[in-house]
Copies of this chain bind each other. A is one copy, B any other.
């Protein structure tokens, strides 16, 4: 057996069944092995940012890694920005990057690049196989590294000769690494703080945003008056009717400072203490009050759900406190306004849908009304690399073929990864893509104003996406995806409902 086949068989044995790929010449033996080894679904992306964005969406939804297949250093480089988002979400991914044969590489052929250096910028684990015999072992190490809590990116570089040489064998899967338990003393310490009944915020992320984590967090909030927050960018949250309420830390620094003003204790449950997305002149990096104590209940890699349950019990919380009223908002009409869209969209979310969001300026205000929507999951661009929602939604639909996936993508970001639509068409994925076509980098116009500058010729050139207008109906059609343009909320609601009622991908360009 050659190294490539040992890699494929090791991945299958370890429970990996999906490979998002954009292969090149140095990966031909691995592709040939994929032809021989049953059990791996191969999904092609026409640009690597699609491949890695798919793997991120897949991993967040499936809770297990997909593999990627990328071509040499430059191919990996094209996928790094969406791997950066995945890194910030702790998404498990096994990145396989083909490379030159070990004996060819020293000749510095044109495609040679520092693949490991590129990989290290986004990976928790990077290894280059040095011979065929060790490929299986390296592969099982990569799977383990991707799964070690809280999850992350493991990159295995596969030189071509390590793929084609014989003498390899698959490696046996290992037991999935377990999460560490939080020490009882740490839980008691937080319980004592909560008993003070001073203004407290419980910051939730990672596993704490799942159904069970939110349930116990809500018990704590109910019993102690603590407020629940998630990060500005949510990796994957259970949301909607029957799920407890939680706020996000606002993106705008002043709004975040106001939201957390008066907090005396900030308790971290799988979350980082919130810092500003960007630094601004005269504004702080840390968004909690200076006199606020920061306590860690559980690190993101620990068993945060068990810690929340234990804490809820420790503060004497009831098992099932009431959720309060979760009013469904009313659909609005007329032209796009962020809040009106948010109200409307909340009424339209299909039951058990997955929403992938990278809506930037159009998306602010989207979150609050979704508490009363049908139960769903919501995931966001965690690392700030725009163009996240299209490929992430694509990967989510591969992971969950029975669920409707909604992609909310601003047009600026959509142009980073529009190739995702072709994969949706190829795989007949059930994704409704909403493109917010404001035809400008609106966030940058806001940021320029925030630095006190008046727009001039350069900023006009650099923020304006009109001249010419992008036509998303044509772009989608060019990749085999049906599309429609809407310019009112009522028309959006009609088209969105119709798109959800059928299967397969659809694009709605909302001209706003």
List A residues at the B interface (Cβ < 8 Å).
Answer: 21, 23-26, 28-29, 31-32, 34-36, 40, 42-44, 46-47, 49, 72-75, 77-78, 80-81, 84, 88, 100-101, 103-105, 107-111, 113-114, 117-118, 120-122, 160-161, 164, 232-233, 272, 275-279, 281, 285-286, 382-385, 387, 412, 415-416, 418-419, 422, 425-426, 443-444, 447-448, 450-451, 453-459, 461-462, 464-465, 467-475, 477-480
CA–CA, A34 and B118, complex, Å: 31
Q: Which of B84, B101, B232, B444 contacts A28 (CB 8 A)?
A: B444
Q: Are B475 and A480 touching (Cβ within 8 A)?
A: no
Docked pose: A456 CA to B458 CA in angstroms: 52
Of the candidates B80, B161, B232, B444, which one forms a contact with A74 in the assembled complex, judged by CB atoms under 8 Å apart? B80
Bound-state Cα–Cα, A46 to B467, Å: 13
6 CB < 8 A contacts A-B: A34-B458, A40-B458, A42-B462, A49-B78, A100-B279, A415-B422
- Which B residues are CB-close (under 8 A) to A44? 461-462, 464
Residue numbers in B under 8 Å from A443 (CB-CB):
25
> B471 touching A275 by the CB < 8 A rule?
no
A105 / chain B contacts, CB cutoff of 8 Å: 279
Complex copy number for this chain: 2
- Shortest Cβ distance from residue A71 to the other chain B in the assembled complex, whole angstroms: 9
* Set of chain B residues within 8 Å of A480, measured between Cβ atoms: 468-471
The complex places the Cα of A286 from the Cα of B103 at a distance, in Å, of 11
Residue from the set A110, A232, A461 with the largest chain B CB neighbour count within 10 Å: A110
Q: How far is the CA of A213 from the CA of B220 in the complex (A)?
A: 78
Q: In whole Å, how far is A416's beta carbon from the nearest beta carbon of chain B?
A: 5
Interchain CB contact under 8 A, B385 and A74: yes
> Beyond the given A46-B465, A77-B80, A107-B286, could you list 19 further A-B residue pairs with CB under 8 A, ordered by the A residue number?
A25-B447, A26-B278, A31-B462, A32-B451, A42-B458, A46-B416, A49-B78, A74-B80, A74-B81, A74-B84, A75-B81, A78-B81, A105-B279, A109-B275, A109-B276, A110-B382, A470-B479, A471-B477, A474-B475
Q: A31-B458, A104-B276, A113-B121 are in contact. Are A416 and B281 (CB under 8 A)?
A: no
Chain B: which residue is nearest A43 at the CB level? B461
- For A78, what are the chain B residues with a Cβ–Cβ distance below 8 Å? 49, 78, 80-81, 416
Q: What's the Cα separation between A80 and B286 when bound, in Å?
A: 32
* A77-B80, A100-B278 given; A467·B426 CB < 8 A: yes
